[in-house]
Amino acid sequence: AIRLSQMTGWVSFTLMGIYANVGEIEDGIRTITPAHTLLDAPGAAPLEVSEGRIEFRDVGFAYGRESGGVEHIALDIRPGEKVGIVGASGAGKSTMVALLLRLYDAEKGGIFIDGQKVSEVTQESLRRQIGMVTQETAMFNRSALDNIRYGRPDATMEDVIAAAEKAEAHEFILGLQDHMGREGYEAHLGERGVKLSGGQRQRIALARAILKDAPILVLDEATSALDSEVEASIQSALERVMAGKTVLAVAHRLSTLSEMDRIIVLDHGHIVEQGTHDALLAQDGLYARYWNRQSGGFVNPEAEEAAE
Protein backbone atom coordinates (compact mmCIF):
# COMPACT_ATOMS: atom_id res chain seq x y z
CA ALA A 1 0.00 0.00 0.00
CA ILE A 2 2.85 2.36 0.80
CA ARG A 3 4.51 1.68 -2.50
CA LEU A 4 1.28 2.33 -4.35
CA SER A 5 0.59 5.61 -2.63
CA GLN A 6 4.13 6.77 -3.25
CA MET A 7 3.82 5.91 -6.87
CA THR A 8 0.49 7.64 -7.41
CA GLY A 9 1.85 10.67 -5.59
CA TRP A 10 4.69 10.82 -8.02
CA VAL A 11 2.34 10.25 -10.90
CA SER A 12 0.06 13.12 -9.98
CA PHE A 13 3.08 15.33 -9.47
CA THR A 14 4.36 14.42 -12.92
CA LEU A 15 1.01 15.10 -14.52
CA MET A 16 0.79 18.52 -12.91
CA GLY A 17 4.23 19.28 -14.26
CA ILE A 18 3.02 18.50 -17.72
CA TYR A 19 -0.08 20.68 -17.30
CA ALA A 20 2.15 23.58 -16.37
CA ASN A 21 4.24 23.07 -19.45
CA VAL A 22 1.23 22.90 -21.69
CA GLY A 23 0.01 26.24 -20.43
CA GLU A 24 3.34 27.89 -20.81
CA ILE A 25 3.69 26.89 -24.41
CA GLU A 26 0.13 27.86 -25.14
CA ASP A 27 0.54 31.44 -24.11
CA GLY A 28 4.06 31.92 -25.23
CA ILE A 29 5.16 33.52 -21.96
CA ARG A 30 8.02 31.09 -21.68
CA THR A 31 8.84 28.03 -23.66
CA ILE A 32 9.63 24.91 -21.76
CA THR A 33 10.04 21.57 -23.44
CA PRO A 34 7.36 19.17 -22.17
CA ALA A 35 8.29 15.83 -20.64
CA HIS A 36 7.38 14.28 -23.96
CA THR A 37 6.24 15.86 -27.16
CA LEU A 38 3.43 14.67 -29.36
CA LEU A 39 3.55 16.15 -32.81
CA ASP A 40 0.52 17.46 -34.64
CA ALA A 41 -0.75 15.00 -37.23
CA PRO A 42 0.31 15.87 -40.79
CA GLY A 43 -2.23 18.34 -42.16
CA ALA A 44 -3.89 18.77 -38.75
CA ALA A 45 -6.67 21.35 -38.87
CA PRO A 46 -7.65 23.64 -36.02
CA LEU A 47 -10.39 22.32 -33.75
CA GLU A 48 -13.71 24.04 -34.40
CA VAL A 49 -16.00 23.85 -31.43
CA SER A 50 -19.59 24.42 -32.51
CA GLU A 51 -21.56 22.77 -29.70
CA GLY A 52 -19.04 21.32 -27.26
CA ARG A 53 -19.89 17.60 -27.42
CA ILE A 54 -17.16 15.30 -26.10
CA GLU A 55 -17.16 11.62 -26.97
CA PHE A 56 -14.88 8.92 -25.63
CA ARG A 57 -15.40 6.08 -28.12
CA ASP A 58 -14.24 2.84 -26.52
CA VAL A 59 -11.00 4.42 -25.37
CA GLY A 60 -8.12 2.32 -24.11
CA PHE A 61 -4.72 3.47 -22.90
CA ALA A 62 -1.96 1.89 -20.80
CA TYR A 63 1.17 3.59 -19.51
CA GLY A 64 3.17 0.42 -19.80
CA ARG A 65 2.68 -3.29 -20.03
CA GLU A 66 2.18 -3.83 -16.33
CA SER A 67 0.88 -0.46 -15.26
CA GLY A 68 -2.51 1.18 -15.17
CA GLY A 69 -4.46 3.31 -17.55
CA VAL A 70 -8.05 3.10 -18.75
CA GLU A 71 -10.00 0.54 -20.75
CA HIS A 72 -13.22 0.54 -22.76
CA ILE A 73 -14.16 4.06 -21.81
CA ALA A 74 -17.36 4.94 -23.66
CA LEU A 75 -18.77 8.28 -22.70
CA ASP A 76 -20.88 10.75 -24.61
CA ILE A 77 -20.92 14.15 -22.96
CA ARG A 78 -23.67 16.31 -24.43
CA PRO A 79 -23.01 19.96 -25.24
CA GLY A 80 -23.26 21.90 -21.99
CA GLU A 81 -23.42 18.76 -19.86
CA LYS A 82 -21.44 18.69 -16.61
CA VAL A 83 -19.86 15.33 -15.86
CA GLY A 84 -18.01 14.51 -12.66
CA ILE A 85 -15.43 11.71 -12.46
CA VAL A 86 -14.89 9.98 -9.15
CA GLY A 87 -12.94 6.91 -8.11
CA ALA A 88 -10.23 5.77 -5.74
CA SER A 89 -6.62 6.75 -6.18
CA GLY A 90 -5.21 5.21 -9.33
CA ALA A 91 -8.66 4.52 -10.83
CA GLY A 92 -7.81 6.51 -13.96
CA LYS A 93 -9.37 9.93 -13.38
CA SER A 94 -6.30 11.97 -14.30
CA THR A 95 -5.66 9.66 -17.22
CA MET A 96 -9.05 10.52 -18.75
CA VAL A 97 -8.29 14.21 -18.42
CA ALA A 98 -4.79 13.75 -19.86
CA LEU A 99 -6.22 11.91 -22.86
CA LEU A 100 -8.77 14.65 -23.49
CA LEU A 101 -5.97 17.23 -23.42
CA ARG A 102 -3.93 14.93 -25.63
CA LEU A 103 -1.03 14.73 -23.24
CA TYR A 104 -1.09 11.11 -24.38
CA ASP A 105 -2.69 9.47 -27.39
CA ALA A 106 -5.38 6.86 -26.85
CA GLU A 107 -4.17 3.46 -28.01
CA LYS A 108 -7.64 2.16 -28.70
CA GLY A 109 -10.70 4.05 -29.81
CA GLY A 110 -10.66 7.82 -29.97
CA ILE A 111 -11.78 11.00 -28.28
CA PHE A 112 -13.85 13.36 -30.35
CA ILE A 113 -14.88 16.95 -29.80
CA ASP A 114 -17.79 17.88 -32.06
CA GLY A 115 -16.82 14.97 -34.27
CA GLN A 116 -13.15 15.92 -34.61
CA LYS A 117 -10.61 13.50 -33.24
CA VAL A 118 -8.35 15.19 -30.70
CA SER A 119 -5.28 13.47 -32.14
CA GLU A 120 -6.03 14.98 -35.55
CA VAL A 121 -6.47 18.64 -34.66
CA THR A 122 -3.68 21.07 -33.82
CA GLN A 123 -2.68 20.93 -30.18
CA GLU A 124 -2.63 24.70 -29.95
CA SER A 125 -6.29 24.89 -31.01
CA LEU A 126 -7.25 22.02 -28.69
CA ARG A 127 -5.75 23.68 -25.64
CA ARG A 128 -7.13 27.06 -26.57
CA GLN A 129 -10.67 25.66 -26.41
CA ILE A 130 -10.26 23.91 -23.08
CA GLY A 131 -10.14 25.90 -19.84
CA MET A 132 -8.47 24.25 -16.87
CA VAL A 133 -9.01 24.87 -13.20
CA THR A 134 -6.80 22.95 -10.82
CA GLN A 135 -5.60 23.77 -7.37
CA GLU A 136 -2.05 22.91 -8.36
CA THR A 137 -2.16 25.45 -11.18
CA ALA A 138 1.32 26.84 -11.61
CA MET A 139 1.85 30.47 -10.71
CA PHE A 140 4.58 32.20 -12.64
CA ASN A 141 7.16 34.50 -11.12
CA ARG A 142 5.25 37.41 -12.50
CA SER A 143 2.60 39.86 -11.36
CA ALA A 144 -0.89 38.78 -10.35
CA LEU A 145 -2.06 40.69 -13.42
CA ASP A 146 0.13 38.63 -15.78
CA ASN A 147 -0.81 35.44 -13.98
CA ILE A 148 -4.47 36.06 -14.74
CA ARG A 149 -3.93 37.56 -18.19
CA TYR A 150 -2.21 34.33 -19.05
CA GLY A 151 -5.77 33.07 -19.74
CA ARG A 152 -5.98 35.57 -22.64
CA PRO A 153 -2.78 37.50 -23.37
CA ASP A 154 -4.52 40.38 -25.14
CA ALA A 155 -6.93 41.13 -22.26
CA THR A 156 -7.05 44.67 -20.92
CA MET A 157 -6.64 45.62 -17.26
CA GLU A 158 -10.43 46.10 -17.08
CA ASP A 159 -11.03 42.59 -18.44
CA VAL A 160 -8.62 41.15 -15.86
CA ILE A 161 -10.29 42.96 -12.97
CA ALA A 162 -13.76 41.91 -14.15
CA ALA A 163 -12.59 38.27 -14.28
CA ALA A 164 -10.96 38.51 -10.86
CA GLU A 165 -14.16 39.95 -9.42
CA LYS A 166 -16.21 37.09 -10.84
CA ALA A 167 -13.69 34.64 -9.42
CA GLU A 168 -13.92 36.29 -5.97
CA ALA A 169 -10.20 37.04 -6.24
CA HIS A 170 -10.24 40.82 -6.60
CA GLU A 171 -10.37 41.64 -2.89
CA PHE A 172 -7.52 39.45 -1.78
CA ILE A 173 -5.39 40.58 -4.73
CA LEU A 174 -5.79 44.20 -3.65
CA GLY A 175 -4.30 43.22 -0.27
CA LEU A 176 -1.20 41.49 -1.72
CA GLN A 177 2.29 42.82 -1.22
CA ASP A 178 5.47 41.05 -2.30
CA HIS A 179 8.92 41.32 -0.71
CA MET A 180 9.91 44.06 -3.17
CA GLY A 181 6.99 46.16 -1.98
CA ARG A 182 4.91 45.71 -5.14
CA GLU A 183 1.23 45.73 -4.30
CA GLY A 184 -2.10 44.46 -5.55
CA TYR A 185 -2.16 43.39 -9.20
CA GLU A 186 1.53 44.29 -9.50
CA ALA A 187 2.62 41.96 -6.66
CA HIS A 188 4.62 39.04 -7.98
CA LEU A 189 3.42 35.49 -7.37
CA GLY A 190 5.23 32.21 -7.90
CA GLU A 191 8.08 30.69 -5.95
CA ARG A 192 9.90 33.97 -5.54
CA GLY A 193 6.79 36.04 -4.89
CA VAL A 194 3.81 36.04 -2.56
CA LYS A 195 2.90 32.62 -1.24
CA LEU A 196 -0.76 31.98 -1.95
CA SER A 197 -3.05 29.63 -0.05
CA GLY A 198 -4.74 26.75 -1.88
CA GLY A 199 -8.00 28.66 -2.01
CA GLN A 200 -6.29 31.76 -3.42
CA ARG A 201 -4.51 29.76 -6.11
CA GLN A 202 -7.79 28.21 -7.07
CA ARG A 203 -9.40 31.63 -7.42
CA ILE A 204 -6.53 32.88 -9.62
CA ALA A 205 -7.02 29.75 -11.74
CA LEU A 206 -10.73 30.52 -11.92
CA ALA A 207 -10.06 34.10 -12.99
CA ARG A 208 -7.80 32.79 -15.74
CA ALA A 209 -10.48 30.38 -16.91
CA ILE A 210 -13.14 33.12 -16.85
CA LEU A 211 -10.92 35.32 -18.99
CA LYS A 212 -10.14 32.48 -21.35
CA ASP A 213 -13.86 31.72 -21.74
CA ALA A 214 -13.25 28.40 -23.49
CA PRO A 215 -16.32 26.32 -24.41
CA ILE A 216 -14.96 23.26 -22.60
CA LEU A 217 -13.86 23.30 -19.00
CA VAL A 218 -11.75 20.75 -17.15
CA LEU A 219 -11.83 20.93 -13.40
CA ASP A 220 -9.48 19.01 -11.15
CA GLU A 221 -10.74 19.62 -7.69
CA ALA A 222 -8.40 19.46 -4.72
CA THR A 223 -8.97 16.81 -2.09
CA SER A 224 -7.69 19.09 0.64
CA ALA A 225 -10.20 20.87 2.81
CA LEU A 226 -10.79 24.58 2.38
CA ASP A 227 -12.38 26.62 5.09
CA SER A 228 -16.11 26.76 4.56
CA GLU A 229 -16.29 30.46 3.73
CA VAL A 230 -13.64 30.13 1.01
CA GLU A 231 -15.32 27.00 -0.27
CA ALA A 232 -18.66 28.76 -0.54
CA SER A 233 -17.14 31.67 -2.47
CA ILE A 234 -15.26 29.34 -4.80
CA GLN A 235 -18.41 27.36 -5.31
CA SER A 236 -20.44 30.34 -6.45
CA ALA A 237 -17.60 31.49 -8.71
CA LEU A 238 -17.36 27.97 -10.15
CA GLU A 239 -21.05 27.91 -10.96
CA ARG A 240 -20.58 31.11 -12.92
CA VAL A 241 -17.61 29.69 -14.84
CA MET A 242 -19.39 26.44 -15.64
CA ALA A 243 -22.58 28.03 -16.95
CA GLY A 244 -23.16 27.14 -20.58
CA LYS A 245 -19.98 25.10 -20.89
CA THR A 246 -19.30 21.42 -21.27
CA VAL A 247 -17.52 20.35 -18.09
CA LEU A 248 -15.43 17.34 -17.19
CA ALA A 249 -14.55 17.50 -13.50
CA VAL A 250 -12.51 15.29 -11.21
CA ALA A 251 -14.75 16.09 -8.27
CA HIS A 252 -14.60 15.40 -4.56
CA ARG A 253 -16.97 17.75 -2.81
CA LEU A 254 -20.69 17.38 -2.42
CA SER A 255 -21.09 21.03 -3.39
CA THR A 256 -19.52 20.23 -6.78
CA LEU A 257 -20.90 16.72 -7.21
CA SER A 258 -24.46 17.87 -6.66
CA GLU A 259 -24.00 20.45 -9.46
CA MET A 260 -23.08 17.72 -11.94
CA ASP A 261 -25.64 16.43 -14.43
CA ARG A 262 -23.94 13.06 -14.29
CA ILE A 263 -21.24 11.38 -12.22
CA ILE A 264 -19.21 8.52 -13.57
CA VAL A 265 -17.48 6.15 -11.19
CA LEU A 266 -14.15 4.74 -12.29
CA ASP A 267 -12.60 1.61 -10.86
CA HIS A 268 -9.36 0.12 -12.15
CA GLY A 269 -9.64 2.03 -15.40
CA HIS A 270 -13.28 1.10 -16.11
CA ILE A 271 -16.53 3.02 -15.77
CA VAL A 272 -18.48 0.93 -13.29
CA GLU A 273 -21.41 3.18 -12.37
CA GLN A 274 -22.98 6.41 -13.55
CA GLY A 275 -25.84 8.66 -12.59
CA THR A 276 -26.58 11.69 -10.45
CA HIS A 277 -25.32 11.89 -6.87
CA ASP A 278 -28.76 10.93 -5.52
CA ALA A 279 -29.30 8.11 -8.01
CA LEU A 280 -25.88 6.65 -7.24
CA LEU A 281 -26.49 6.78 -3.52
CA ALA A 282 -29.83 5.02 -4.03
CA GLN A 283 -28.08 2.38 -6.12
CA ASP A 284 -26.02 1.55 -3.03
CA GLY A 285 -22.96 0.43 -4.99
CA LEU A 286 -19.35 1.56 -5.03
CA TYR A 287 -20.18 5.26 -5.04
CA ALA A 288 -22.42 4.86 -2.01
CA ARG A 289 -19.76 2.84 -0.25
CA TYR A 290 -17.09 5.48 -0.79
CA TRP A 291 -19.43 8.28 0.05
CA ASN A 292 -20.61 6.77 3.31
CA ARG A 293 -17.10 5.95 4.39
CA GLN A 294 -16.20 9.59 4.11
CA SER A 295 -19.13 11.75 5.08
CA GLY A 296 -19.01 15.22 3.61
CA GLY A 297 -16.61 14.52 0.78
CA PHE A 298 -15.65 11.87 -1.67
CA VAL A 299 -12.88 9.30 -1.50
CA ASN A 300 -9.85 10.21 0.42
CA PRO A 301 -7.41 8.10 -1.61
CA GLU A 302 -5.11 7.44 1.33
CA ALA A 303 -7.96 6.38 3.61
CA GLU A 304 -9.23 4.09 0.88
CA GLU A 305 -5.86 2.43 0.50
CA ALA A 306 -5.24 2.16 4.21
CA ALA A 307 -8.53 0.33 4.58
CA GLU A 308 -7.43 -2.30 2.12
- Closer residue to ligand ATP (CB): 49 or 218: 218
Written as one letter, the residue type at 112 is: F
- Closer residue to ligand ATP (CB): 89 or 134: 89
Among 6, 14, 50, 294, binds ligand ATP (CB under 6 A): 14
Per-residue interface string for the shown chain with ligand ATP, residues 54-73, x marking contact by CB under 6 A: ---------xx--xxx----
Total residues belonging to the chain: 308
**Minimal CA–CA distance to 268: which of 219, 225, 304, 306?**
304
Interatomic CA distance for residues 162 and 148, integer angstroms: 11
Q: According to CB under 6 A, which residues from 87 to 116 bind ligand ATP?
A: 87, 89-95
Q: Where are the alpha helices (DSSP H) in the chain?
A: 2-27, 93-100, 123-128, 144-149, 157-166, 170-174, 198-212, 228-242, 254-257, 277-283, 286-293, 301-306
- Closer residue to ligand ATP (CB): 73 or 167: 73
Among 52, 84, 199, 301, binds ligand ATP (CB under 6 A): 301
- Closer residue to ligand ATP (CB): 140 or 290: 290
Interatomic CA distance for residues 302 and 62, integer angstroms: 23
Q: How far is the CB of 288 from ligand ATP (least distance, A)?
A: 19
Q: How far is the CB of 270 from ligand ATP (least distance, A)?
A: 11
Contacts of 90 (CB under 8 A, 6+ apart): 4, 8, 68, 301
Tell whether residue 125 is a contact of ligand ATP (CB under 6 A): no
Stretch that binds ligand ATP, among 7-15, 108-116, 187-195, 233-241 (CB under 6 A): 7-15
Size of the site for ligand ATP (CB under 6 A): 19
Q: How far is the CB of 67 from ligand ATP (least distance, A)?
A: 4
Q: How far is the CB of 82 from ligand ATP (least distance, A)?
A: 19
Tell whether residue 84 is a contact of ligand ATP (CB under 6 A): no
Interatomic CA distance for residues 200 and 80, integer angstroms: 27
Q: Are 72 and 285 in contact (CB under 8 A)?
A: no
- Closer residue to ligand ATP (CB): 73 or 164: 73
**Minimal CA–CA distance to 170: which of 140, 206, 197?**
206
Per-residue interface string for the shown chain with ligand ATP, residues 178-207, x marking contact by CB under 6 A: ------------------------------
Interatomic CA distance for residues 258 and 277, integer angstroms: 6
Among 8, 135, 137, 200, binds ligand ATP (CB under 6 A): 8
* CA dihedral for 35, 69, 5, 22, sign (positive or negative): positive
How wide is the angle at C-alpha 193 spanned by C-alphas 198 and 187, nearest 5°?
95
Q: Are 258 and 277 in contact (CB under 8 A)?
A: yes
Q: Are 117 and 94 in contact (CB under 8 A)?
A: no
Q: According to CB under 6 A, which residues from 243 to 272 bind ligand ATP?
A: none
Tell whether residue 16 is a contact of ligand ATP (CB under 6 A): no
Q: How far is the CB of 235 from ligand ATP (least distance, A)?
A: 21
- Closer residue to ligand ATP (CB): 94 or 143: 94
Residues of the shown chain interacting with ligand ATP in the complex, contacts defined by CB under 6 A? 7-8, 11-12, 14, 63-64, 67-69, 87, 89-95, 301
